[in-house]
Amino acid sequence: MTPHADFTAPSMGEPDHENIIRVLVVDDHPPMRMGLVALIKSQPGMDVVAEASDGEEAIEIYEDVQPDVVLMDLRMPGMGGVEAILAIRKKFPNARVIVLSTYDLDEDIHRAMQSGAQSYLLKDMPIEEIASTIRSVHAGDALLPRPVAERLTERSQREQLTERERDVLESLIKGRSNKEIASSLCISEDTVKSHLKTLFAKLRVRDRTGAAVEAIRHGIVHLK
Amino acid sequence: MTPHADFTAPSMGEPDHENIIRVLVVDDHPPMRMGLVALIKSQPGMDVVAEASDGEEAIEIYEDVQPDVVLMDLRMPGMGGVEAILAIRKKFPNARVIVLSTYDLDEDIHRAMQSGAQSYLLKDMPIEEIASTIRSVHAGDALLPRPVAERLTERSQREQLTERERDVLESLIKGRSNKEIASSLCISEDTVKSHLKTLFAKLRVRDRTGAAVEAIRHGIVHLK
DNA sequence: CGAAATGTCACCCAATTGGGTGATGCGAGA
DNA sequence: TCTCGCATCACCCAATTGGGTGACATTTCG
């Protein structure tokens, strides 16, 4: 796809301190990809070795070119960033991935870091910060910008939802009544109400409408 | 801010058919700006004369450089794209603006076109389409890509909300009960219920939760 | 093993919500 | 002038929802 020069195997032997950082750019927006490529190529000591426009492509290409660092968008059609990171790190546990997202939703950040990303940047950050993070992550650090770290703290203060609570929440956001949620999950209506009670407490809302809005606001469930 | 060469006044006299298309790029994401600049500079017959990172800056710079075409993001901190387009076209009714957005929400598209944009593109479109639209719009056409036009049709099939209905909807999404909505809008609870009834019908939902989700889904109200 | 978390269900009761019907006043436009 | 849409309010009634309390089984974990 994108021409990448002859590369030397990153495993074994001599440290790559003096080598150029080989970056894989993953984003489904062509102009954004173009910008990230321009950004990286404008920096000394790093270069783009390949591009991908969704998760599956990213996995394939990663195996081929085995880049030093991946710059990965989160929301993409088909396979998203999180699944791609999981797949890549399953096969290459040392893979270094920086998530670059439009959104600073606490759940997104949490899921990304959970899946093994080394950092999480926002697209409204200056290009210097993106470049310096690529260097840091390549050097083995895993740092989060202040505002992102703060969001992650927010999320940790919110109580974890159980699997069943998530199910109810998702069903709720589809516009279903308690009765409908019950039958869709094959449980009694009382059980639904029971889950809703704890759900309201955990999300700190009074009713289902508040729960729906909070869930969307924090990225706990995604629309569409 | 950004260097722009000597420019000739776009008013009066000779047609600019043979001149280069002078583009102003407005986006709050540095790497996206970088990509758009690279995109435009890579195309023959057009060039970037200035960049802005929010609505206010866009207005200022527009007056200074009076570009042929503006490539404008919609959601930006501070003043958004719609307000900027309105302000620019109030002073320069012939201003040509292409909105370039991440989202294909019908309300966003509607508001953008309503405010006077000539086109609405999505960031996941290929760079050729973006470039060719710049040319078309500069030549005086105002065309919408198929998928965007279809979304706009969706929106026109949904009944218009009245101002008051919007007020109730916004209040609803803040998590308020009917009683609280009533007092926040200084009307009776019965009136709130009355508005909600028509609101449910127009949005084709059964209850307030559905209304909240639909409103967010279509961009009728924005979170945060 | 015992404790804690999770998922399940039941019952009661009050509050909120949603649906139907209708009425009034006001301003814009045919 | 006379509609028509909009906003306002009222009343009634049924359905849904939310809060409190408690119980039981399973699983996980120290």
Judging contacts by C-beta atoms under 8 Å, the chain B residues touching residue A206 are: 175, 177
Rounded to two decimals, the pTM is: 0.89
pLDDT in tens, A4-57: 444 444 444 444 456 899 999 999 999 999 999 999 999 999 999 999 999 999
Distance A133 CA to D8 C1' (A): 58
Q: What do you get for the CA distance between the two ends of chain A, in Å?
A: 31
In three state form, how does the secondary structure of B156-185 look? HHCCCCCHHHHHHHHHHHCCCCHHHHHHHH
Residue A150 contacts by C-beta under 8 Å, 6 or more apart in sequence? Answer: none
Contact A24, A58 (CB under 8 A): yes
Cα Rg of chain A, angstroms: 20
pLDDT in tens, A49-86: 999 999 999 999 999 999 999 999 999 999 999 999 99
Chain B 181-210 residues whose Cβ is under 7 Å from strand D? 185, 187-188, 190-191, 193-195, 207
C-alpha dist (Å) from residue B132 to A139, B21, B141: 42, 12, 11
Given pLDDT bands bounded at 50, 70 and 90, which one contains residue B19? confident
C-alpha dist (Å) from residue A71 to A106, A224, B137: 19, 25, 34
CA atoms of A65 and A7, how far apart (whole Å) = 8
Percent of chain A clearing pLDDT 90 (strictly above): 91
Closest CB to A209 among B31, B130, B175: B175
- List the beta strands (DSSP E) in A31-145: 46-52, 69-72, 97-101, 119-122
Distance B139 CA to D29 C1' (A): 71
3-class DSSP state for residue A33?
Answer: helix
Q: Cβ separation of B124 and A33 shorter than 8 Å?
A: no
CA atoms of B59 and B79, how far apart (whole Å) = 10
A-B contacts at Cβ under 8 angstroms: 107
CB neighbourhood size of B112 (10 A): 24
A145 in contact with B, Cβ within 8 Å: no
